[in-house]
Amino acid sequence: MIVHFDIDAFYAAVEIRDDPALRGKPIAVAGSSRRAVVLTASYEARPYGVRSAMPLFKARALCPELIVVPPRMPHYRAVSHDVFTIFSEGAKAVEALSLDEAFVDIDAADTETVVAFAQRVRERVRNEIGITVSAGVASGKMIAKIASDTCKPDGLAVVPRGTEAAFLAPLPVGRLWGIGPKAQARLAAIGVQRIGEFAALDDRRLFELFGRTGKMLRELARGNDDRRVGNERDAVSVSTEETFEFDVRKHAELLAVLREQSVEIVERLRRHGVRGTTVGVKLKRSDFKITSRQMRLAEPTADPEAIYRAAARCLARAHEDGVPVRLLGIRIGDLTADATEQLSLW
């Protein structure tokens, strides 16, 4: 049994904690440039349709009362470090997905022990850090993440072992990892709208719809997910990716997301005392075609600007402005233990 922890509206939560006058108001954390995008929106702003990765001018149009707070990334990284310290106490492995999200394995098979751990972590984050975190407890990664999503904000959802398929069955099929809008449309055409209906598909129909990945998706739909929580201390690469609620077409908006992902990657590299030499970018288009590009740096680095510049060059080779993108990710590989940095002569 593992836990998926997700800090609620992280950047916005930190700003509200630091300035209680913002509590209860619709706020967005975003830059001030003409092409700025929303990094995080408070829960009060979300009913208006304000969401992350949305251009700020659209967010202002949807919510005229929106309060825009400039981001303080070094501050968020420091808060994230404090939260992850709490995640790691008593854990066998912590797999960070971003600054505000992680899978945690405490090497316990019984549900009660893992739930008690999740409760203690949530209470400590609330009392010691001053923000809230939601948690999902389950036997697999996907189910634990879906569980935490169902109880946000500030909730704890538990899927006992043996009940995974029943938990997933009534949920929309789009909640499955790997099922996007176009796949949902194909499934709807044959009357499949719920995960339970997807889990009942036969091999022939799965292959017609998804090829060789069909059976893997069906296993997830049935609640079978045996992927382990990876400990980044032993990882050969570190990556993060974001699936957008709506396709992103503008190259400038993708660059803004890439910059934030570079910061997230660096926080994880520094947390485990490693640097990386190979930077790569992954794109999934609206038609599910995946494109990836990578480049090798002259020296191992954990500098966010160096990683961002390399990732931006990779993105320029992979994306044409106007092509809809549903997922963007960044990866840094060839990790080495941190040491005194050797500066280039030039």
Q: Where in the chain is the domain with CATH 1.10.150.20?
A: 165-221
Most confident stretch, 33-42, 236-245, 273-282: 273-282
Residue 344 above 70 pLDDT? Answer: no
Give the Å distances, CA to CA, from 250 to 247, 274, 287, 309: 10, 33, 17, 18
Out of 101, 253, 260, 267, the active site residue is 101
**Nearest CA-CA partner of 99 in 78, 114, 120:** 78
pLDDT more than 70, % of the chain: 95
**101 carries an active-site annotation:** yes
Chain centroid to CA 40: how far?
13
* CATH 3.30.1490.100 domain locations along the chain: 232-337
- Does the pLDDT at position 277 exceed 50? yes
Vertex 174: Cα angle to 39 and 238 (nearest 5): 50
Q: Of residues 238 and 254, which shows the higher confidence score?
A: 254
Mean pLDDT within 82-100:
89
Q: What is the mean pLDDT of the chain?
A: 88
Measured CA to CA in angstroms, residue 317 lies from 84, 294, 298, 314 at distances of: 35, 9, 19, 5
> Which pTM does this prediction carry?
0.71
Mean pLDDT along residues 12-24: 95
Which range, of 13-22, 150-159, 177-186, 278-287, averages the lowest pLDDT? 177-186
pLDDT tens-digit series, residues 155-177: 999 999 999 999 999 999 988 87
Helix (H, G, I), strand (E, B) or coil at 304: helix
CATH class of the region 232-337:
alpha beta
pLDDT in tens, 23-82: 999 999 988 776 688 989 999 999 999 988 888 889 999 999 999 999 998 899 899 989
Dihedral sign, CA of 13, 17, 23, 28?
Answer: negative
Q: Where in the chain is the domain with CATH 3.30.70.270?
A: 2-7+77-161
Listed residue (235, 260, 227, 266) closest to 328, CA to CA: 260
First to last CA, the chain: 51
The pLDDT assigned to 199 comes to 93
Dist CA 28 CA 12 (whole Å): 7
**pLDDT score for 234:** 55
Q: How far, in Å, CA of 166 to CA of 143, rounded?
A: 11
How far, rounded to the nearest angstrom, does the alpha carbon of residue 344 sit from its chain's CA centroid?
Answer: 34
Nearest by Cα to 14 from 81, 66, 59: 81
Give the model confidence (pLDDT) of 299-322 as tens digits.
889 899 999 999 999 999 888 778
* pLDDT tens digits, 173-205: 988 877 877 788 889 999 999 999 999 999 998
Instruction: Domain 10-69: give its CATH code.
Output: 3.40.1170.60
* pLDDT confidence bin for 248, thresholds 50/70/90: confident
Q: What is the mean pLDDT of residues 80-103?
A: 90
Spell out the residues 6+ positions from residue 95 whose beta carbon is closer than 8 angstroms to its own: 102, 103, 104, 229, 230, 231, 232
Topology given in CATH for the domain delimited by 2-7+77-161: Alpha-Beta Plaits (3.30.70)
Confidence of residue 340 (pLDDT cuts 50, 70, 90): very low
For residues 170 and 193, the answer to whether their CB atoms sit within 8 Å is no
Tell me if 191 sits within 8 A of 205, measured CB to CB: no
The pLDDT of residue 210 is 84
d(CA 63, CA 194): 33
In this structure, of 5-9, 17-21, 243-247, 328-332, the range with the lowest mean pLDDT score is 243-247
SS3 222: coil
Task: Read off the pLDDT band of 244 (50, 70, 90).
Answer: confident
pLDDT at 21 over 60: yes
- CB count within 10 Å of CB 130 equals 13
Segment 217-235 shows an average pLDDT of 80
Question: For domain 165-221, which CATH number applies: 1.10.150.20, 3.40.50.300, 1.10.3430.10, 2.30.22.10?
Answer: 1.10.150.20
Residue ranges of the chain assigned to CATH 3.40.1170.60: 10-69
Short-list 84, 11, 81, CA closest to 52: 11
